[in-house]
Amino acid sequence: MNWKYLQKIISKINPGDRTVLGGHDIWDRDKYLNIWICNLYFTGGYATFPGGNAANDGVVIKYTIFGTIGAVVPGMTKGRIATHEIGHWFNLRHIWGDSYCGDDFVDDTPTQQAANGGCLTFPHVTCNNGPNGDMFMNYMDYTSDSCKNIYTIGQSARMNAAINSYRVSLLTSNGGVPVNGVPITHFRSDKTTINPGQSINFFDESGGIPTGWQWTFEGGVPSASNQQNPSVTYQNPGFYSVRLKVTNSYGADSVNYINYVKVLGVNMSSFSVVYPPSNTFINTYASDTARSIFTWTKSSSHPSIRYKWKIHKDGGSVNFSYNSNNNGSDSVIILRNSFLDSLAMGFGGSSDTVSCIWKVYSYNGSDSLSSQNQNFIFIVRHSVSIKVISSSVPVEFKLFQNYPNPFNPVTKISFDIPVRHSGEGRNPVVKLIIFDALGREVETLVNQQMNPGSYNVSWDASQNTSGVYFYRMTAEGFSDTKKLLLLK
């Protein structure tokens, strides 16, 4: 790496070394080694060499390769990246000298061709450095954490020379004395994934000697705590955030880890969509009150499992998702054909027949599982929905009694739409709505602009219970309500 170029861009790529950018300002570099943990994009870490810019002198390490828990990448938990970067801070070069068979200015390190990665088999000979070959176990190589374990006597001497010249002020610094200042929040836990009813122990590891703690545990019991190291129980599956604010006489600091805790749900097994089978044709129109039933097997018998029915156009990328019946707990969803008709129209199909794919996902509160198969359906859209029953033009709005009445399960409702005389040049918006005996809306049969004429529309009440219902028609100041009786 070109270290002169790196020195120029450090202040631009490291937002973590400025309080105004969300991090923390540097402490006095003549008294402390500053280490920032950041979300780096181009490297795992870097450091300033002795004599560098005092405004950001120190070491910067990517958060996924620092520490031992959380987001740390497996195999990078021994802190060797920090050891490597601190070596730079004490004036050590890379062991390959940053060039092909380069010089790191240390006599007892062998010349090697380039950086090594992973864990190599001894000896690994390059640049005529046999019989022992590369010192790939040296902290200043790029090998894995588990392979690094050595600084040479020459490297030690070079670092001692740095601390006795460029960084001599560290020898008399007060770095070992507690700092008076705003605390820096950090915590850990003994686990992050548990089963419902289990507990997690949280441990404050904040710097700066905090004297007060304010924990917030989403979904936990307790939901808040002022203890330094609380224990929290979680009962319900899901992902939960944890927030800690620490304070002392100099100020406060806080962190909020989103979805830090995962509480597992019940086990889910493979399941399948069943009906309708693939390649089924479903005929629809805009006000089609008939229903289509979609069913599947269950992924678990546990009552906490929820299902979502998902559909998309064959070859399309937009998915529509809906809870199954009974607020997602049933392994069935019943949809009106008018709804499927609107879905097909929403997919942007220009033809009468839209090929769609449907499948189901089950959820246990923290994870999801897809049905092992998916079925094709063909939604065949028809333009006819409300039937015209007369070519003559009525002289007034009129709503007729349904026939038959009582009925089971289908009845027809007729109505008249007259010519407009308002001169506004548009047809009236007609609404025809079914209500139950308590006045609750059951279904909208018509809601659109309509030409003058006589019409009828069918209501299929096969999914409704027996009893008295009402239907109301409204249009431009006209309103009429009639009663109908469903007997099963």
Which amino acids are annotated catalytic? 85
Burial class from Cβ neighbours inside 10 Å (0-12, 13-18, 19+) for residue 331 reads: buried
Catalogue the long-range contacts made by 327-335 (C-beta closer than 8 Å, 24 or more residues apart): 328/363, 329/303, 329/305, 331/295, 331/296, 331/297, 331/298, 331/307, 331/360, 332/293, 332/294, 332/295, 332/296, 333/293, 333/294, 333/309, 334/291, 334/292, 334/293, 334/294, 334/463, 335/291, 335/292, 335/294
Q: CA-CA distances (angstroms) from residue 340 to 51, 279, 315?
A: 71, 16, 18
Residues in the chain: 488
Q: Give the integer Cα–Cα distance in Å for 232 and 219.
A: 10
Residue 153 is inside which H or E element, if any? Answer: helix 153-163
Instruction: Report whether 265 contacts 362 (CB < 8 A).
Output: no
C-beta atoms surrounding 339 within 10 Å: 14
